[in-house]
Amino acid sequence: MQTVVIVNVFSMFPLLFTIYLAKRHLSGSRQNWYYIFASVITIMLLFMEIIAGLMSSKAGNIALAVHYLSYALGYALTPLVPMVILFYLGCSAWSFTKKLWLFVPMVVNILISILSMQSGWYFTILTSNTYQRGPYFWFVTAFSAYYYGWILIRLLQINKTRVVPSKFLLGFVYTLPIVSTTIQLATRDEIYVFSTVGVSLLLYYLIVQEARFDYDMQTQVRNREAFEQELLSRQYHERDSAIFMFDVNNLKSTNDVWGHQEGDSLLFCVAQILTKLFEPEGKVFRIGGDEFAVILPLSKKPDPDLFQQKFLASVALANESRVHPISIAYGYAISDKAEGISLRKAFHLADEAMYRNKNEQRHILRDHC
C-alpha cells in the first residue's frame, strides 16, 4: 500500500475526533457547523486520494472509471475547504453580491474539474490507469490560493472583535497548507496536501479552544485567570503599568427588573467600550461578575487621566442610544518600581480608588434625591 494511503487513513482519525468534540461541546453554533463541514470535506478529499492511490495501475474499466471520478471530485472539492472556513470566520453574513466573489470561482473550478474528465485540462488517466497532470493543473491551486488570501484578510479584520489565538500560532497553522500547496505546485511528487489541511484544522480547533480558557465568552474579553497571569508576567519583568478598575453599578437590580438578558447586554456594551478605548495599547479583563480591569503599559508614556476622560465620554455617548443607561464606578493607580509600588499593590490601590468613586456617586445621587 502506498505511503500516501497510510498517511491519509491516519489523518482521518483526528479529524473525526474533533468533529465529535465540536458536535458535543459547541452544538447550536453556526460557526461550529461550518468547521464541521470543512472537516467533513477534508475527510472526503483524503478518501478520494486513498481511492486514487488504490486504483492506480489497476486493470479494468471499473478501476479506470473510479480513478477518473476520484480525481474529478478531488479537484472539484479542493477549494471548497478554504471557502467554508471563510464562512466559519463570519463571511456568511456578507451580502449576496459580495458572496458572489466566493461562489463564482468555486463554480468555475467545479465545471473545469468535470470537463477535465474529457478534455484533460486538470488531469488525465493514461491507458495504464496512471495519473498525469494536465496543462491547467495550477488553476485549482490558484483558486485555493484565492480563498486563502481572503482568509488572511478576514483574520486581520476580526482580530479585534473575536476570541482568537496568538498571532504566532495562528500564522503557523495558516502557513502549513500554503507551504504544502506551493511545494505540490512546484513538483510532481506526492506532498500530502489534504493530510496537511487535516492537521491544520485539528491544530486550529485545539488552539482556539485553548485560547478560550483565557477569555470570558459572555463579554469576549480576557478573564480573571488571564488577569492573574498578566500581573505575574509584568511583575516578574518589572514593567510599570497603570491599572484601571471599573465596577458596573446596579447590575443586580437591572437583572431583577429587566431580566438577565438586559444585564448581559449591559456588560457586553461596557466590555466593547473598554476594548475600543484601551486596545491595542492595553489589555481588558473581566475579573468579576460586574468588575472589569485594564492593564495599560507605561512604556509609551500614555496619560492615564486622558484615558479616564475618554472613557467617561464614551459612556456618555453610548447612553444617548441606550434605553437603560450605563452607570459605572472607576479608579486607577500606577505601579512604580522607584517608589516601591508593585503591580499587585497598584491593583489594590486602583480597587480602593474605584470604591471611593462608587461612594461619591452614591452621595451625589442621594443629594439629588
Question: pLDDT tens digit string along 44-92?
Answer: 988 988 888 888 878 888 999 999 999 999 899 989 988 988 888 788 8
Q: Which portions of the chain are predicted below pLDDT 70?
A: 1-2, 25-29, 158-171, 174, 184-185, 187-195, 209-212, 238, 299-302, 365-369
Q: Using CA atoms, how far apart are residues 97 and 277, in angstroms rounded to an integer?
A: 33
For 321-366, the pLDDT digits (tens) are 877 778 888 888 988 887 788 888 999 999 999 999 888 887 776 6
User: Which CATH architecture describes the domain 218-368?
Assistant: 2-Layer Sandwich (3.30)
Strand partners, 123: 133
Q: Which pLDDT score, from 0 to 100, does residue 161 have? A: 47
CATH 1.20.1070 holds for 3-212: yes
Residues written for the chain = 369
Which 3-state string (H, E, C) describes 176-242?
Answer: HHHHHHHHHHHCCCCCCHHHHHHHHHHHHHHHHHHHHCCEECCCCEECHHHHHHHHHHHHHCCCCEE
Domain ranges of the chain: 3-212, 218-368
Which 3-state string (H, E, C) describes 46-91?
Answer: HHHHHHHHHHCCCCCHHHHHHHHHHHHHHHHHCCHHHHHHHHHCCH
What would the grid cell of residue 225 be? 485567570
Q: Using CA atoms, how far apart are residues 34 and 52, in angstroms rounded to an integer?
A: 27
- Cis, peptide link before residue 280, omega less than 30° from 0: yes
Q: Which pLDDT score, from 0 to 100, does residue 105 have? A: 95
Q: Which pLDDT score, from 0 to 100, does residue 352 have? A: 92
